[in-house]
């Protein structure tokens, strides 16, 4: 068996070289690649059906085979994406591109609202970008100058359309909007402009528009009624636009049956059919961008839905055309006398078809518009005139609701123009200049097609100096252009007045101003502007003339757009489907066996929850709050579980007994730290104490922290700093809470904990080179404090982030694409520059001012001074040098441990007390009975046992680090009878342990009394870590937190002072409320409240 396996692996290694070579030279087209993949998979499938081969095949060989395929695909993608060059080998200047992925390109970056993502990319890469959407090179133009070159200067070169599978399926590939540039398109556009959408034809539909507008007004009156009930304006506007276009396209005599008309809320089946049609037409299929993944469209049912909708639509249109032909034969004489001025689109197209047939008989060379072409062009008219028209009207109403001054102004204009009292007619529209401004401003902010329809270059051309190869897809981001601050004043605001002084107010500027291109421009500009605008103006004027509008109580605003589910589905499927396919193939795995060297038997591993995936393991099961999910898993799997987080085996302990064994009984075996990529990046390769692996370096750095930085005497030396910052905190509360205003206590507590820690670390008075955390503002005048807070806020956020490369190393590209690596590098550099300045400033001050004299004992020295003293003294630390890098890493330990966890603990205590007013009153009575009239000092803290009980109960329910920091086993060991291999990651779920009903009575309830006295109260002390393993907020054992003595006084003093000086209530909008605080959590470096704690602080009248 071993010989066979070795032969297979060697053969695959040779095959890998061959396939890499072939991927570079043989696959000139994607079709050849797809054939190769199918043949490769077929040969593998046939080979594995032979019993003796299948029996000898194991996981490494199988993985090697798959690796060959993946390598070939990646090399092929790289070759296919090589930049073009001229015939002489000189590279052309292509537009800049953001980083992309092999095969998928930039598709995963677009998200559910691509116009917004592209706008953000353009801010970094310029107004012309080159993207790779799967296999499709796509140029994106995001400025007025770029749009002008596309749609005017080089209009002919950019005048074609790319092939879009959904459009070909739904509009027969014979319409006008989606067909490529050529004779057929020119003839179809000529018919649309001269026959269907001429000014005379549009005017002939005036009666249909006015009839539908009157019907819409009548429905509003009927549905609003006398009780002023809410009206679904969106539904009414959809009905109006469908009514107008159906009358124009199919006729207003309803000769084809009431079930096919829209005008009076009939035809629900037809309404749904056209809704499905428009939805599908706006859907991008995966096969458009990655052809060999087109099967996904079948799997998701998209192809089936398109076929079903297309068949129903075709049946309907065939019947409509047949009805029109029968009617034309029946009353042919009368129809000829009408001059065709009010004929519907189907009649006009039949006329054109007959004329074309005659011309072809006479001269030849004329494009014939047969029934397929008629159906396609009529569908163009319907799709273009419905969805875009009603969305613009809905946006206009929403903007006016949100801007009541503009609504009153346009209503005054409409009501002044319509003096008859009969309502708005189209005769009034030329007088409504401000109405036109409102519609144009809505078009600018809410472009119905924010990326217009894609174009395709017919020849090699240029765009703003960049080379654009032939057959490149081109997208004009009209949404970004209309919000460009370089061309619009206050572009994000709704200001109809910006169009009020325009000499062309009545014009919608098609091709005149390339800052404003909601309908496109040039050869491919929308020819239906003249048809759409009167419909919109008449409907909006009628609604504003007859009614005053406001949002119903409890209603929401239409100011935000809902994400496109189709685009989101596309992104998710494109990323996930190849992975799922790979996972399904690799699910046949043998259970790993950990051989016992003594008896060659299997060792008993901890149980694992179901639902693990190959490669990803249990990662997908953890959710956003892993401590909660892990507790749920432990309920069914037991207090010790084995998870596979990507490629990382992880044991989770969720009971006091398991925690005691890991943190006390076998503490040495569990005493190391795993390699954490983010900590290595931020802490100089884990040169600190907290994240360093077990060893001599870690032991010496812990000694430095315990003996020199966090000793009782050192902590007492910072008493003045704590009391100073508490006084500043109280002053800020008084200033913010005047007249019953809300106090953002969360924000003030963050500033307080930062201030205390920064004074201890850098020294009072801005020892950190002018940077200072203090909240009283003195040092912040120059912006230094704000900058420091921002940098360290991002630092703590990153430190609580797990990179994908840490658990699945070969998916490191995810961290690159999401910008996580770039952000970590930037923050690391900023923090390093700051700390270099801090250390240099201290050294200069020590050398020049000699504030800290040699040999003098000063318990108030800041941490940097203490570390520099140790470094200068060259004290022996077992060969560990306290160089500048080590000093900086140690400083970061103190800052991270002393800020985020402290403020979140105080925040949770205050939230629990607000939700439990009886306990708050009890605690306030204790504090106010002990303290002097001038407030709390640290001398009072030992006299406040109930305060300590409240803090301990909060730590039990809300430990800042619910899973502590991960540990790693140094050797094979055991936990609760289960085998735990060496180098296994270990998590202690202290959140679950603190809520274990087997260990705590009423475990989910906030009951400080459980710690208030007696044996429990004496046994479970802050400093007695490792005594009671039911209570582990700071960990225990060798890796327990040494900074408890530093954190507790800061927490106790702040809480006692806040509760002594103020009475507290929840703030809810208008003032006080008895509603409880929302205790929803948010994950970060420490778990904190998701929503800021807004309270009303009433000074206590002493």
Question: Using CA atoms, how far apart are residues 645 and 674, in angstroms rounded to an integer?
Answer: 13
Q: Order the strands of the 1071-1073 sheet from edge to edge.
A: 742-744, 1094-1099, 1062-1068, 1071-1073
Question: Does 1041 count as an annotated binding residue?
Answer: yes
- E strand or H helix at 722, and its extent? helix 719-736
Across the strands, what pairs with 468? 461
| The pair of three-digit structure tokens given for residue 136, joined into one six-digit string | 């499709």
What letter would DSSP give residue 741? -
C-alpha distances (whole Å) from 454 to each of 282, 461, 466, 510 are 12, 17, 19, 18
- E strand or H helix at 456, and its extent? strand 455-456
- E strand or H helix at 753, and its extent? helix 745-762
Q: Which residues contact 388 (CB under 8 A, 6 or more apart)?
A: 448, 449, 532
Q: Are 445 and 533 in contact (CB under 8 A)?
A: no
Question: Using CA atoms, how far apart are residues 616 and 810, in angstroms rounded to an integer?
Answer: 11
Question: Using CA atoms, how far apart are residues 379 and 366, in angstroms rounded to an integer?
Answer: 22
- Write phi, then psi, for 988 (nearest 5 degrees): -110, 115
In which residue are the tokens 């080998």 written?
Answer: 89
Question: Using CA atoms, how far apart are residues 156 and 186, in angstroms rounded to an integer?
Answer: 12
| The pair of three-digit structure tokens given for residue 968, joined into one six-digit string | 């790693």
C-alpha distances (whole Å) from 208 to each of 222, 240, 255, 256, 639 are 21, 10, 16, 17, 73
Question: Using CA atoms, how far apart are residues 823 and 801, in angstroms rounded to an integer?
Answer: 12
Select from 890, 902, 864, 862 the least CA-distant residue to 751: 902
**Radius of gyration over alpha carbons of the chain, in Å?**
36
Alpha helices, DSSP H only, in 916-1012? 917-930, 945-957, 990-993
| The pair of three-digit structure tokens given for residue 131, joined into one six-digit string | 């993207």
Q: Which residues contact 837 (CB under 8 A, 6 or more apart)?
A: 768, 769, 771
Strand pairing report for 461-463 and 128-133:
unpaired
| The pair of three-digit structure tokens given for residue 976, joined into one six-digit string | 């609760």
- E strand or H helix at 650, and its extent? strand 648-653
Q: Is 344 left (phi over 0), alpha (psi -120 to 50) or beta?
A: beta
Question: Using CA atoms, how far apart are residues 429 and 425, in angstroms rounded to an integer?
Answer: 7
- E strand or H helix at 310, and its extent? helix 302-330
CB atoms within 10 A of CB 257: 13
Across the strands, what pairs with 935? 932
Q: Are 481 and 128 in contact (CB under 8 A)?
A: no
Select from 550, 549, 546, 548 the least CA-distant residue to 538: 546
| Entry field: residues in the chain | 1102
C-alpha distances (whole Å) from 368 to each of 173, 356, 357, 371, 405 are 15, 6, 7, 10, 54
How far does Cα 197 stand from its chain's mean position?
A: 42
- Euclidean distance between the first and the last CA atom of the chain, given in angstroms as a whole number: 87
Q: Are 988 and 663 in contact (CB under 8 A)?
A: yes
CB atoms within 10 A of CB 513: 16
Number of H helices, E strands in the chain: 41, 18
Known binding-site residues for heme equal 1041
Known binding-site residues equal 1041
């Amino acid at each position: 068996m071993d010989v066979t396996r070795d032969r297979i692996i060697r053969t695959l290694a040779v095959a890998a070289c061959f396939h890499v070579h072939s991927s570079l030279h043989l696959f000139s087209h994607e079709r050849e690649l797809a054939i190769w993949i199918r043949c490769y998979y077929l040969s593998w499938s046939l080979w594995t059906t032979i019993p003796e081969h299948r029996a000898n095949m194991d996981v490494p060989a199988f993985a090697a085979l798959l690796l060959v395929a993946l390598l070939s695909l990646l090399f092929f993608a790289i070759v296919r994406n090589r930049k073009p060059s001229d015939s002489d080998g000189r590279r052309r200047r292509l537009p800049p591109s953001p980083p992309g992925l092999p095969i998928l390109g930039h598709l995963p970056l677009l998200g559910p609202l691509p116009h917004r993502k592209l706008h953000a990319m353009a801010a970094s890469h310029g107004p012309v970008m080159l993207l790779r959407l799967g296999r499709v090179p796509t140029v994106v133009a995001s400025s007025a100058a770029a749009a002008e070159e596309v749609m005017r200067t080089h209009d002919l070169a950019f005048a074609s359309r790319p092939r879009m599978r959904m459009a070909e399926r739904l509009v027969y590939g014979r319409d006008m909007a989606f067909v490529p540039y050529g004779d057929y398109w020119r003839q179809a556009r000529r018919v649309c402009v001269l026959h269907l959408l001429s000014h005379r034809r549009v005017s002939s539909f005036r009666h249909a528009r006015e009839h539908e507008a009157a019907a819409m007004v009548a429905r509003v009156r009927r549905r609003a009624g006398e009780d002023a009930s809410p009206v679904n304006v969106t539904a009414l506007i959809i009905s109006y636009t469908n009514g107008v276009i159906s009358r124009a396209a199919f006729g207003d005599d309803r000769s084809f049956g009431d079930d096919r008309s829209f005008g009076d809320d009939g035809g629900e089946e037809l309404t749904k059919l056209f809704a499905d049609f428009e939805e599908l037409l706006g859907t991008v299929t995966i096969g458009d961008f990655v052809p060999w993944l087109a099967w996904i469209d079948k799997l998701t049912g998209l192809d089936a839905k398109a076929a079903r909708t297309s068949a129903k639509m075709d049946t309907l249109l065939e019947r409509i055309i047949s009805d029109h032909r029968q009617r034309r034969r029946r009353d042919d004489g009368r129809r000829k006398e009408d001059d065709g001025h009010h004929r519907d689109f189907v009649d006009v197209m039949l006329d054109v078809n007959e004329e074309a047939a005659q011309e072809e008989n006479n001269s030849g060379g004329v494009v014939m518009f047969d029934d397929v072409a008629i159906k396609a062009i009529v569908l163009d008219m319907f799709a273009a005139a419905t969805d875009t028209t009603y969305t613009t009207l809905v946006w206009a109403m929403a903007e006016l609701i949100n801007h009541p001054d503009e609504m009153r102004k346009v209503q005054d204009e409409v009501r002044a123009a319509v003096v008859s009292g009969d309502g708005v007619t189209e005769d009034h529209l030329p007088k409504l200049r401000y109405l036109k401004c409102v519609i144009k401003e809505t078009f600018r902010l809410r472009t119905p097609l924010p990326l217009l329809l894609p174009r395709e270059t017919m020849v090699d051309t240029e765009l703003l100096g960049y080379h654009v190869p032939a057959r490149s897809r081109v997208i004009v981001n009209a949404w970004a252009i209309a919000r460009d601050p370089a061309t619009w004043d206050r572009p994000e605001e709704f200001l109809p007045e910006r169009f009020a002084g325009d000499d062309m107010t009545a014009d919608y500027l098609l091709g005149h101003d390339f800052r404003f291109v909601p309908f496109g421009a040039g050869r491919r500009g929308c020819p239906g502007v003249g048809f759409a605008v009167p419909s919109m103006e008449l409907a909006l004027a009628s609604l504003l003339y007859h009614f005053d509008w406001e949002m119903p109580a409890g209603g929401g605003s239409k100011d935000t757009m809902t994400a496109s589910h189709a685009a989101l589905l596309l992104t998710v499927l494109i990323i996930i489907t190849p992975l799922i396919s790979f996972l399904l193939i690799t699910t046949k795995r043998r259970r790993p066996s950990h051989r016992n060297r003594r008896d060659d038997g299997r060792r008993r591993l901890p149980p694992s929850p179901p639902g693990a995936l190959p490669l990803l393991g249990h990662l997908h099961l953890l959710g956003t709050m892993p401590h909660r999910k892990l507790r749920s898993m432990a309920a069914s799997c037991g207090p010790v579980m084995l998870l596979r987080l990507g490629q990382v085996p992880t044991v989770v302990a969720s009971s006091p007994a398991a925690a005691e064994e890991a943190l006390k009984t076998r503490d040495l075996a569990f005493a190391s730290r795993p390699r954490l990529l983010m900590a290595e990046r931020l802490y100089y390769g884990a040169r600190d104490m907290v994240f360093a692996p077990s060893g001599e370096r870690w032991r010496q750095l812990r000694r430095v922290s315990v003996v020199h930085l966090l000793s009782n005497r050192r902590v007492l030396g910072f008493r003045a700093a704590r009391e100073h910052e508490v006084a500043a905190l109280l002053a800020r509360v008084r200033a913010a809470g005047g007249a019953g205003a809300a106090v953002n206590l969360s924000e003030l507590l963050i500033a307080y904990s930062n201030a205390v820690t920064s004074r201890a670390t850098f020294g009072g008075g801005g020892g950190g080179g002018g940077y200072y955390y203090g909240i009283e503002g003195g040092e912040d005048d120059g912006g230094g404090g704000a900058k420091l807070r921002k940098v360290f806020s991002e630092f703590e956020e990153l430190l609580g982030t797990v990179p994908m490369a840490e658990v699945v190393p070969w998916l490191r590209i995810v961290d690159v694409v999401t910008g996580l690596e770039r952000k970590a590098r930037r923050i690391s550099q900023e923090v390093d520059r700051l700390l270099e300045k801090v250390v240099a400033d201290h050294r200069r001050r020590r050398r020049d001012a000699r504030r800290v004299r040699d040999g003098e004992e000063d318990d108030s020295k800041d941490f940097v001074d203490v570390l520099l003293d140790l470094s200068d003294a060259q004290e022996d630390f077992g060969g560990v040098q306290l160089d500048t890098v080590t000093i900086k890493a140690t400083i970061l330990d103190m800052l991270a441990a002393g800020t985020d966890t402290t403020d979140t603990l105080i925040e949770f205590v205050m939230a629990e007390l607000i939700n439990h007013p009886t306990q708050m009153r009890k605690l306030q009575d204790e504090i106010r009975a002990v303290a002097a009239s001038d407030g709390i000092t640290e001398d009072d803290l030992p006299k406040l046992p109930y305060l300590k009980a409240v803090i301990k109960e909060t730590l039990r329910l809300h430990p800042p680090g619910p899973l502590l920091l991960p540990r790693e086993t140094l050797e094979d060991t055991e936990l609760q009878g289960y085998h735990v291999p060496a180098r296994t990651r270990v998590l202690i779920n202290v959140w679950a342990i603190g809520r274990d009903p087997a260990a705590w009575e009423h475990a989910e309830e906030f009951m400080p009394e459980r710690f208030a006295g007696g044996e429990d109260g004496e046994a479970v002390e802050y400093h007695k870590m490792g005594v009671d393993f039911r209570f582990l907020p700071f960990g225990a054992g060798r890796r327990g937190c040494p900074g408890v003595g530093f954190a507790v006084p800061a927490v106790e003093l702040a809480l006692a002072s806040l509760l002594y000086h103020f009475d507290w209530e929840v703030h809810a909008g208008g003032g006080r409320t008895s509603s409880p605080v929302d205790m929803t959590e948010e994950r970060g470096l420490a778990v904190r409240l998701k929503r800021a704690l807004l309270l009303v602080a009433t000074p206590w009248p002493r």
